Structure 1
Amino acid sequence: MARAIILMADSLGVGAAPDAEKFGDVGSNTLAHLLEAYKADTGNALPLPNLTKLGLVDACESAGKKACQVAERQPPEAAWGYAKELSSGKDTPSGHWEMAGVPVLFDWGYFPNTTPCFPQAFIDELCKRASIPGILGNCYASGTTILEQLGEEHVKTGMPICYTSVDSVFQIAAHEQSFGLDKLYQVCDIARALLDEMNIGRVIARPFIGTSSADFIRTGNRRDYSVLPPAPTLLDKLAEDGGEVISIGKIADIYAHQGITQKHKAPGLMNLLDKTSEVIDEAPDHSLIFTNLVDFDEKFGHRRKPVGYAEALKQFDDYLPTILNKLGANDLLIITADHGCDPTAPGNDHTREYVPVLAYTPGMKNTPLGERQSFADIGQTLAQWFNLSALEYGEGFITSLNKA
């Protein structure tokens, strides 16, 4: 029987989507722009030989109509293309759910870009139920900047730092020692229940450590509290069919732990890749191994660090042979993204972009997939790969995965 591995390169967009103007993202291209920034900073084009052989650069140049400044260009040896998003937003749950066959065709609830931005009645009830003296922040903010601004006051007062962004999200930052990790999770549980009626997509626990604004740093104990997908996803179908759905990183949180049979946490890019490699050795037939490589988005895209993003992408590229060499004849590797986060764009939010669709099984032929009309094409292809019933959305490309 078959297995599949998804490596979700979180935020690795490959060019502005057709509706980018609606989101203020005209001209965005995460991959092309980080490559440009790297060459401008170092004087050298970034070598990505393994991702190039899987078709990443060809997909980007086809989607973004922009040359990618990459060294050691290799012809593709996989199926490669790019997909646009049907979902109404450019947020993490929408991208992931759509890829699993369930696009978000409704509008999320959002908070206004004002200060304060949260309804007072909600804050009053949250403080009452959680027994906290109040909150700090109450605004749109960068997660790292707000720690520098309010982290010390939080430690002194015991008031958690609450903030949001253009995404449908309520984020709570708190110190692991002075506030307590369990207490942070409890406050997030309460917030999740209160925000359901506002249709807010996620509540995110953002724990941090350190002694002052000079050294506050987030930890790997982040936890996402998502609403349930509006319909069964590919993950649910595979689990119900007796398969294993193995979450690595924050995948389980994004799907509200639905359709997940195993969970593995791992902090940082290399630990996530190592855990994926380890699980590939152990996973039985009829398994989906699903990894979110969050560092690209969290550490570099949102923080607008294109050179750091490029260096992390090179680490990923260097590691890929370890994954590729473990693939069996009936294994399928898919590399994609959930949205863009162009590190050269203004602000610090996601960007509405095409995402790469790279698919490889040992011995296959180079196959251009062209423009895919939905991220759900990935889920439909996996449904075909696992011999599951068809999903409601998506056009599968299983016939393109022919052996050479």
Structure 2
Amino acid sequence: MRALILVMDSVGIGAAPDAAHYGDEGADTVGHIADACMAGKADSPRRQGPLRLPNLVALGLGEACRLATGRVPPGLEAPPKHSRFGCASEISKGKDTPSGHWEIAGVPVPFDWGYFPQTVPCFPDHLLKELCARAGLPGVLGSCHASGTEIIAEFGEHHIRTGEPICYTSADSVFQIAAHEESFGLERLYEVCGVARRLIDPLNIGRVIARPFVGTSADNFRRTARRKDFSVPPPEPTILDFAANAGRDVVTIGKIDDIFAHRGTGRNMRADGNEALFDATLDGLGSLADGGLLFANFIDFDTLYGHRRDVAGYAAALEDFDARLPELLNRLRNDDFMIITADHGCDPTWSGTDHTREQVPILAWNAQSNPPVGRRAGFAHIGATVARHLGLPSPRHGAHF
């Protein structure tokens, strides 16, 4: 008896009830990608034609979209083979990664995160001066809201010449620091981020993110997989804590350990990109002890395609993920339980480059026939259900389905 939670990072299925408050009324990551595919606007050398996700559809993705928006996106109309599907809207404030994952794990975020203003500079002068003094920096570049790839292209060469790291933020509660792995040094970047983490704690900022990159010029700079998040810990115990405290085997895949500030995250398996993350998930499942919990994040949907508003790339990534699902399903035991979900949206057809406030799918697999999940207010029902399956203490929030 084991449990798995797979988070398709940013794969939202339609605007949340409060989306208008965030400027996201009408956002629909999966629906708009499917529309673009049907119209031939997402054709590329990697894929052509309607969006094809037969395995996710068999798990109920199309019908989960119907619950969320009232329609099944084109190409996802086939009837599900499993009845345990539903959708959920987030009750935490914000539309960021930590809030979504913490709520999935049973802990909604009831408070407002701190954010940096849409000004240039966006960071307080005293904060940057203290960061430079404590970290021994000659200065910093950026201090603005920006796309990570664009700001590295803009300032990367200057950074290499001067040793000044690139500091920027987004609509999320983040302080991001980009630096060249070789000229600046990866460990030094992590040390600077650690200093920044301590300095911004009073501002209630959710994450400091180290964004290492390589390359020699703006033409070939690229970010690497050695990103590291310096997060504040969840305000209450999550199902990861419950599992770890009960002596259960816990395996986390990708950035889950960073998101939960390395609390209760067990054996973490890092990998570069969705394909390698899927390989790590299969390896992690193969070594997961009875009674254990595997928690995985698949990051490419968000970072490579959602934020970059790459509809064709996002569609191809969804199809690639779908094509590998049988490998995982064939390795599940009759008493295992798996949920595939998301943490927010990042509609690649939307304006800007930020996350979108959306409902998420709940696609649950087990060998038993059970009632549908239906529409849920809050992601914490996922954590409560996983805790129930594993015989762990019930989180304070959510009810098992």
Match of 2:317 among 307, 312, 317: 312
Of 338-347 and 39-48, more deviation after overlay is shown by: 39-48
> In structure 1, what is the Cα distance between the partners aligned to 2:282 and 2:79?
24
Q: Does 2:301 match 1:296?
A: yes
> In structure 2, what is the Cα distance between the partners aligned to 1:279 and 1:293?
14
Contact 1:49 / 1:74 at 8 angstroms: preserved in 2?
no
> In structure 1, what is the Cα distance between the partners aligned to 2:282 and 2:260?
22
Contact 1:45 / 1:71 at 8 angstroms: preserved in 2?
no
Which amino acid counterpart does residue 386 of structure 1 have in structure 2? L
Match of 1:394 among 371, 380, 398: 398
Contact 2:106 / 2:239 at 8 angstroms: preserved in 1?
yes
| Residues 155-194 of structure 1 aligned to structure 2 (within 5 Å) | 155-194=160-199
Which amino acid counterpart does residue 16 of structure 1 have in structure 2? A
Tell me the equivalent position of 2:274. Answer: 269
> In structure 1, what is the Cα distance between the partners aligned to 2:263 and 2:289?
20
| Residues 71-90 of structure 1 aligned to structure 2 (within 5 Å) | 73-90=78-95
Tell me the equivalent position of 2:31. Answer: 32
How far apart are 1:366 and its partner, in Å?
A: 6.5
> In structure 2, what is the Cα distance between the partners aligned to 1:365 and 1:185?
48
TM-score, reference length from structure 2: 0.97
Tell me the equivalent position of 2:131. Answer: 126
> In structure 1, what is the Cα distance between the partners aligned to 2:125 and 2:181?
26
CA deviations on 1:101-146 (whole Å, 9 max, x unpaired) are 1100000011001000001111000000110111101000001111
How far apart are 1:293 and its partner, in Å?
A: 0.1
Which amino acid counterpart does residue 138 of structure 1 have in structure 2? S
> In structure 1, what is the Cα distance between the partners aligned to 2:310 and 2:82?
30
Tell me the equivalent position of 2:264. Answer: 259
How far apart are 1:152 and its partner, in Å?
A: 0.8
Runs of 4+ in 1 over 6 A off after TM superposition: none
| Residues 1-400 of structure 1 aligned to structure 2 (within 5 Å) | 2-40=1-39, 41=41, 42=43, 44-70=49-75, 73-362=78-367, 364-365=368-369, 367-397=371-401
How far apart are 1:71 and its partner, in Å?
A: 5.7
How far apart are 1:61 and its partner, in Å?
A: 1.9
CA deviations on 1:195-226 (whole Å, 9 max, x unpaired) are 11100000000000001000100001000010
Contact 2:214 / 2:224 at 8 angstroms: preserved in 1?
yes
Any unmatched runs of 5+ in structure 1? Answer: 398-404
How far apart are 1:38 and its partner, in Å?
A: 2.2
Contact 2:63 / 2:72 at 8 angstroms: preserved in 1?
no
**SS in structure 1 at match of 2:111:** coil
> In structure 2, what is the Cα distance between the partners aligned to 1:288 and 1:122?
40
Contact 2:62 / 2:76 at 8 angstroms: preserved in 1?
no
Aligned length: 395
Contact 1:248 / 1:292 at 8 angstroms: preserved in 2?
yes
Of 38-47 and 115-124, more deviation after overlay is shown by: 38-47
**SS in structure 1 at match of 2:372:** strand
Tell me the equivalent position of 1:402. Answer: none
> In structure 2, what is the Cα distance between the partners aligned to 1:8 and 1:384?
19
> In structure 2, what is the Cα distance between the partners aligned to 1:74 and 1:27?
25
> In structure 2, what is the Cα distance between the partners aligned to 1:384 and 1:325?
23
Which amino acid counterpart does residue 212 of structure 2 have in structure 1? P
Contact 1:76 / 1:366 at 8 angstroms: preserved in 2?
no
**SS in structure 2 at match of 1:105:** coil
**SS in structure 2 at match of 1:291:** strand
Contact 1:34 / 1:343 at 8 angstroms: preserved in 2?
yes
> In structure 2, what is the Cα distance between the partners aligned to 1:76 and 1:353?
25
Contact 2:250 / 2:288 at 8 angstroms: preserved in 1?
no
> In structure 2, what is the Cα distance between the partners aligned to 1:38 and 1:216?
30
How far apart are 1:344 and its partner, in Å?
A: 0.5
> In structure 2, what is the Cα distance between the partners aligned to 1:76 and 1:60?
16
How far apart are 1:44 and its partner, in Å?
A: 2.0
Which amino acid counterpart does residue 105 of structure 2 have in structure 1? A
Which amino acid counterpart does residue 123 of structure 1 have in structure 2? L
Q: Pick closer, same or farther for the CA change 1:87–1:71 going to 2, 3 Å.
A: closer
Q: Pick closer, same or farther for the CA change 1:25–1:313 going to 2, 3 Å.
A: same
Contact 1:50 / 1:320 at 8 angstroms: preserved in 2?
yes
How far apart are 1:159 and its partner, in Å?
A: 0.5
TM-score, reference length from structure 1: 0.96
